[in-house]
Each structure stands twice: as C-alpha cells, then as structure tokens.
Amino acid sequence: MATSSREFGEFAILVSDLEGATGWVLKPEGLCKGDICYPVRNAGELSDGVNIDLASFAKFTNQSIVFDRGYEVVALGDSAPTRAESMSSLDAPDFMLPDIYGKQVSFSDFNRRKRLLLAWSSW
C-alpha cells in the first residue's frame, strides 16, 4: 500500500490509491465498493481530500487493522461479517502453492475429493 504524507492521520493512503489497494472508492455520495455506497457522515475524519486515514477507514469498513510503525506498514484484515461467514461455512479459501516438484497446484484442483491441509512453521 502506498502511503502518503504523515500530516493527515498517522497512517494514510492517497485517495487515488485506495481503490487499487482495497477495492473501495471515495465518491461524493460516500465510500463505495462495486454498486454499493455507504454515506460518510464525517468526511473530514476519513479524508482531507488527498489522503484517506487508514484507522478511520478500517473503523468505517469494520476491518481489522495492524500498524508496524518501525517499517511503516499497514495491514487490513477482512471485515467481521466476512470472517464469520467463512468460519460458519467451513470453506477454505482457494490458494496456490508449489508441490514437491515445483509445479503450481491450487487447493481447488482437488475439489470433490477429501483434503487434509497441514501447516507448520519452523519458528
């Protein structure tokens, strides 16, 4: 995510970069994603016209947000309803990883078959 000047909010993104980074667009009618727009009551808290304050954006969109001030990195998580829907459906998201031969394999390549996903970490 490209960050903008630190003058507006501690972490901010340029309005012009918002859609590419999040899928959301700030329009005069509100904050929009696809055909759905949510009115923004206090637009000055969310944006100064050039930047979007990411903490306010996360609060407005009901997303988790994590800041790493040392590296000046921000990560936004899925919204709570999206996480709840994923957990209740027990559907794993599709992803691709290389197999032991280096060939890219998608999790969905094994649809209609039982799958066991094991994950571990060296740390």
pLDDT value, residue 16: 92
Question: How many Cβ atoms from other residues are within 10 Å of residue 13's Cβ?
Answer: 22
Residue 19 maps to a domain:
yes
Q: What tokens were used for 28?
A: 């005069």
Neighbours of 4 (CB within 10 A): 18
pTM across the whole model:
0.63
pLDDT digits (tens), the chain, 123 positions = 454 444 566 788 999 999 998 899 998 888 999 888 889 888 888 999 899 999 999 988 888 899 888 888 888 888 778 778 877 887 777 888 888 899 999 988 888 888 887 878 787
CA distance 31 to 28: 8
Within a domain: residue 48? yes
In a domain, 103, yes or no: no
Distance between alpha carbon 87 and the CA centroid of its chain, in Å? Answer: 17
Q: Of the candidates 113, 74, 5, which has an alpha carbon nearest to the alpha carbon of residue 105? A: 113
Q: Is residue 94 a contact partner of residue 110, using CB atoms and an 8 Å limit?
A: no
Q: How many CB atoms lie within 10 A of CB 37?
A: 16
- What is the number of other CB atoms lying within 10 angstroms of the CB of residue 2? 10
Q: What is the count of structural domains for the chain?
A: 1
Q: Determine the structural domain holding residue 36 and report its residue range.
A: 12-81
> For residue 2, is it within any domain?
no
